[in-house]
Structure 1
Amino acid sequence: MPTNQNESSPDRKVILVTGASSGIGEAVAARLAGQGHHVFAGARRTDRLRALAERTEEATARSGGTLQPVPLDVTKRADVEDFVETARDRAGRIDVFVNNAGVMPLSRLDSLLVDEWDRMIDVNVRGLLHGIAAVLPRFTAQGSGHFVTIASIGAHLVVPTSAVYSGTKYAAWAITEGLRQESDPSIRVTTISPGVVTSELADSITDRGAAEAMRTYRAHAIEPDAIAEAVSYALAQPAGVDVNEIVVRPAHQR
């Protein structure tokens, strides 16, 4: 049911999460809705979003939160604008935008999987920019807001097979840091860089060598809820506190 944020506790925020049908995005949406926030969960796989809403129904009923599925393809600017407009129309405002959608089809450069490179650029970089373009004017007009970008440990290091992926995640880190520096202090900006997390990301790897290396690399992984907890921590800080960046990874990942 649509909820007017003006009738809610000031601690309850209207939060948009992209890539919410699995992995980190799913965990973030579920945790925040369970804490009483009003979450709009966006992704292409709407069947997964509906299942998520059903699974969290009991927790949201207890907390007073909501989780509303919305179809979304972040590579399409019009889709992102519609996603934002839908949330604003239903809830009256937007407080937080979590840019989470991402893909990771790793490969060596000499594999020349150009279509997969393009896909990473479209989702990981253009998708992020589409979110900023849709939400920044609204945050500026209302004098408040919080951007959260889910980057990656790949924004801080490159290994064989990760060149393009790390490039897109470094771009995500750099764009978000630029956004932080350019924004009014009333708009908070946080980058969260996960290490190895249990998710479907590695399932998209078609390069055999990269897939084999990833099986070894992912021997130690943390659950997506560890990242959701980091997002929750950043959002819960007082208005004058801006958590700029959090790196979260398994203790075994050095």
Structure 2
Amino acid sequence: MTTLTGKTAVITGGGTGIGAGIARALAKEGVNVVLAGRRVEKLAAIESEINKADQGKALVVKTDVTSRDDVEELAKRAEDTFGQVDIFVNNAGHMLSSTVTAGQVDDWETMIDVNIKGVLFGINAVLPAMVERSSGHIVNVGSVAGLEVSKKSTVYSATKYAVRAITSGLEKELAQTGVRVTNIAPGMVDTDLTSSNDFGGRKKLETKDIAAAVVYALSQPDYVNVNEINVRPV
């Protein structure tokens, strides 16, 4: 038994990569996990894996985080199934063509819709209930690209700077409410998203490394708010 046992977490982008890693780690802590995303077959594979392990329970809810209605329904399904949402992990994200000079406006719009609006929709769907009961934890998965900008990351970095700003401002808005907020900023992680980048021969982070940071932030005493964790490769 851990301090997280019996709690419920919603994880967007929960079918692959970092999201799946977080889901596995939380389920091992006895957390019931609601896996949200668009690719149901990927989500279902993680759901089956978790339920077979018989620790935390898993539920799949098909969700497009750019749709406010979808995200509201996601929160409702989680509440109807498990009673309440204790943890909301805004993990879904897109990293597409990010140079302004490339002029790929469609890519920019997708990143803004998923990386910024999706985060805000997720927060909005669960925050009122968290504030009402004076407990809850929102985890936003940002990026080290939200700390610094490369010549190829301008627009993507802008969206992740926004996630960091939202997290920082929200933490101040929620002071003394009992609701906590954490920004997790990973460096290069070995996922499908980064498979084409050999990272100069360096070892990439593993999804379990990011999941461990999430578990750490969530496991602190209720008077401790871990505002930000940056996780970088050596």
Could you say which TM-score interval applies, normalised by the shorter chain? over 0.9
Aligned partner of 1:73 in structure 2 is 64
CA contact (8 A) 1:49 1:69 kept: yes
CA contact (8 A) 1:145 1:188 kept: yes
Taking the aligned partners of 2:132 and 2:221, their CA distance within structure 1 comes to 21
Taking the aligned partners of 2:73 and 2:95, their CA distance within structure 1 comes to 26
Matched, 1:12 2:6: yes
Give the counterpart letter for 1:195 in structure 2. G
Relative to structure 1, is the Cα distance of residues 34 and 216 closer, same or farther in structure 2, using a 3 angstrom cutoff?
closer
For residue 140 of structure 2, the aligned residue among 144, 149, 154 is 149
Over aligned residues, Cα RMSD in angstroms? Answer: 1.6
List aligned pairs for 1:1-254, cutoff 5 A: 11-59=5-53, 61=54, 63=55, 65-185=56-176, 186-202=178-194, 214-216=197-199, 219-251=202-234
Unpaired stretches in structure 1, ≥5 consecutive residues: 1-8, 204-210
CA contact (8 A) 1:18 1:42 kept: yes
Relative to structure 1, is the Cα distance of residues 43 and 182 closer, same or farther in structure 2, using a 3 angstrom cutoff?
same
Relative to structure 1, is the Cα distance of residues 176 and 217 closer, same or farther in structure 2, using a 3 angstrom cutoff?
farther
- SS across alignment from 2:185: strand
Q: TM-score, normalised by structure 2?
A: 0.94
Query: CA offset at residue 218 of structure 1?
Result: 7.5
Query: CA offset at residue 11 of structure 1?
Result: 3.8
Aligned partner of 1:4 in structure 2 is none
Give the counterpart letter for 1:200 in structure 2. D
CA contact (8 A) 1:105 1:202 kept: no
Give % identity.
43
Name which one, 1 or 2, has greater alpha-carbon Rg. Answer: 1
| Residue deviations 1:65-111 (CA, integer Å, cap 9, x gap) | 11111111100000000000001111111111001000101342211
Taking the aligned partners of 1:85 and 1:198, their CA distance within structure 2 comes to 33
| Residue deviations 1:145-178 (CA, integer Å, cap 9, x gap) | 1010000000000001100000000000001111
CA contact (8 A) 2:64 2:71 kept: yes
Taking the aligned partners of 1:231 and 1:49, their CA distance within structure 2 comes to 20
Give the counterpart letter for 1:98 in structure 2. V
